[in-house]
Amino acid sequence: MKRKCNEHAVGLTAGVLVGSMHLGWAVMVSAGYAQGLLDWMYNLHFLDNPFVVLEFQMSNAVILVAVTSVVGYAAGCGSAWVWNRLGAKQ
């Protein structure tokens, strides 16, 4: 038996998770570790890294975290809504 999901709770969980991941990325960019991490990850997959990490800008970091948190919230709410409509029993 499927249980109903609380759409708001799932949305908040997804928003916080996605926003936190991007906050971590912004911190790595500001600390200067992001380019090395990208180079290492591509190298593990036998690839050359075509990307260059730009200089850190606080305004871009705030926008990145805010937008990804909102998109994560919307995706979580939408996923829970679909789950509830496609067969969840009360």
Instruction: Determine, yes or no, domain membership for 41.
Output: yes
Tens of each residue's pLDDT in the chain, 90 residues: 578 899 999 999 999 999 999 999 999 999 999 999 999 999 999 999 999 999 999 999 999 999 999 999 999 999 999 999 987 565
Please choose, from the candidates 20, 26, 14, 8, the residue with its C-alpha nearest in 3D space to the C-alpha of residue 72: 14
Exposure string over 47-82, b if 16+ CB within 10 A, otherwise e: eeeeeebeeeeeeebeebbeebbeebbeebbeebee
Instruction: Determine, yes or no, domain membership for 2.
Output: no
- Residue type at position 71: V
Q: Which domain holds residue 77?
A: 7-85
**How many domains does one find in the chain?**
1
Please give the Cα distance from 10 to 4 (Å, whole number): 11
pTM of the model: 0.86
